[in-house]
Amino acid sequence: MPGTGQLQPRAGGAVVTRWMSRSRLGAGCRGELPVGELIVLVGAPGSGKSSLAARLLTAGRADVVLSTDSFAEQISGDPGDQDCRAEAIDRLQQKLGVELAGGRRVIVDATLTRPEARLGLVRIACRAGVTRHSAYLVRASLQTCLARNAQRPGPLPGQKFGKRVPDDWLTQAPERAEAVTPIDLARETFRPVYIVDTDRRDRSA
């Protein structure tokens, strides 16, 4: 068996499964004693990543939350601006390196469904001497993501996108997120991996 799964207490009503690989924590990353922690949230827009990040921060499980939307808003005033997304990612990565080097536990709140995006974050963590990498797979159905997205505020004056993601872009996102497995993440040195079912949270609300 490559790992084990156990039901954990609910996080904000969501059912959380902890998937722990038996492989060594931080394999492939050189460092001394663990300093800080890289925590990634993997999921579609509207899956509940930002809400989970806020709960983890409040619970003292992390020190800092970095999101691409926040950096996009700093750059152009529009959190959903896709034209400045590359610059927003660059700024997030720079800030991530600084925070990790300072010994902080940093949540990266982004879709992160592409392995190259996650591995880029791992490389930054390794350069900062951080060997603790954990991940939350945030699961939600397309119906749930669309419903939550519709509740987000639309563009403010001067904004093109705002916090609402275009539905045609969102349609394929849950499927891409579902394709990411705990084994994939363990191979990328994320251990432990938590699977968070936010559909269950909505059904129990």
Alpha helices (runs of H) in the chain, residue ranges in sequence order: 49-58, 68-76, 85-101, 115-127, 142-151, 167-170, 173-178, 182-187, 198-204
Do strands 64-67 and 105-109 pair parallel, antiparallel, or not at all (unpaired)?
A: parallel
Q: 18: part of which helix (H) or strand (E)?
A: strand 14-21
Around Cβ 56, how many Cβ atoms within 10 Å?
Answer: 19
| Max CA pair span of the chain | 54
Is it the case that residue 181 has pLDDT exceeding 90? yes
- Please answer whether residues 25 and 132 qualify as being in contact, where contact means their C-beta atoms are separated by less than 8 angstroms: yes
DSSP state of 72: H
Q: Which residue segments constitute the domains of the chain, with CATH numbers given?
A: 15-21+32-204 (3.40.50.300)
* The predicted structure's pLDDT at residue 6: 41
- Please answer whether residues 76 and 93 qualify as being in contact, where contact means their C-beta atoms are separated by less than 8 angstroms: no
Q: For residue 141, count CB atoms less than 10 angstroms from its CB and return exposed for 0-12, middle for 13-18, buried for 19 or more.
A: middle
Give the pLDDT confidence of 81-90 residue by residue, as tens digits: 778 889 999 9
Is it the case that residue 113 has pLDDT exceeding 70? yes
How many Å is the Cα radius of gyration of the chain?
17
Q: 6: part of which helix (H) or strand (E)?
A: strand 3-11
Is it the case that residue 2 has pLDDT exceeding 90? no
The pTM of the whole model exceeds 0.75: yes
